[in-house]
Amino acid sequence: MTTSEKGNQIREAVGVFGDADAMQQAIEDLLSSGFEHADLSLLASEETVDKKLGHKYKKVTEIEDDAAVPRIRYISQEAISEGEYVFTGGLVILGALSAAGIIVASGGALAGAFTGAALGAGTWGLLGELLAKFIGAQHAEYVQEQLAHGGLLLWVRCSNSERENSATEILSRHSGRDVHVHALSASV
pLDDT, tens digit, 9 for 90 and up, residues 103-141: 444 444 444 544 454 444 455 455 555 555 555 566 677
Q: Are residues 20 and 63 in the same domain?
A: yes
Q: Are residues 163 and 105 in the same domain?
A: no
Q: Are residues 93 and 33 in the same domain?
A: no
Q: Are residues 71 and 159 in the same domain?
A: yes
Give a yes or no: residue 61 inside a domain.
yes
Better pLDDT: 109 or 78: 78
pLDDT (mean) for 1-20: 75
Q: What is the pLDDT of residue 106?
A: 45
Separation of alpha carbons 30 and 44, rounded Å: 20
Better pLDDT: 148 or 14: 14
Give a yes or no: residue 170 inside a domain.
yes
**Total number of domains in the chain:** 2
Judged against a pLDDT cut of 60, whether residue 180 lies above it is answered with: yes
Better pLDDT: 77 or 46: 46
* Residue 187: pLDDT band with limits 50, 70, 90: low
Q: Are residues 110 and 130 in the same domain?
A: yes
Q: What is the pLDDT of residue 147?
A: 86
Give a yes or no: residue 145 inside a domain.
no
Q: Are residues 54 and 103 in the same domain?
A: no
Tell me the average pLDDT of the chain. 75
Give a yes or no: residue 172 inside a domain.
yes
Query: Could you write out the DSSP letters of every residue in the chain?
Result: --GGGGTSEEEEEEEEESSHHHHHHHHHHHHHTT--GGGEEEE--HHHHHHHHTS--S-GGGTTT-TTS-EEE---HHHHHHHHHHHHHHHHHHHHHHHHHHHHHTT--HHHHHHHHHHHHHHHHHHHHHHHHHHHHHHHHHHHHHHHTT-EEEEEEESSHHHHHHHHHHHHHTT-EEEEEEEEETT-
25-57 pLDDT, tens digit per residue, is 999 999 999 999 999 999 988 888 889 888 888
Give a yes or no: residue 47 inside a domain.
yes
Domain range for 63 is 3-77+150-185
Q: φ and ψ at 154, to 5 degrees?
A: -130, 125
Under 8 Å between Cβ of 11 and 158: yes
Q: Are residues 73 and 92 in the same domain?
A: no
Give a yes or no: residue 141 inside a domain.
no
Separation of alpha carbons 147 and 17, rounded Å: 8
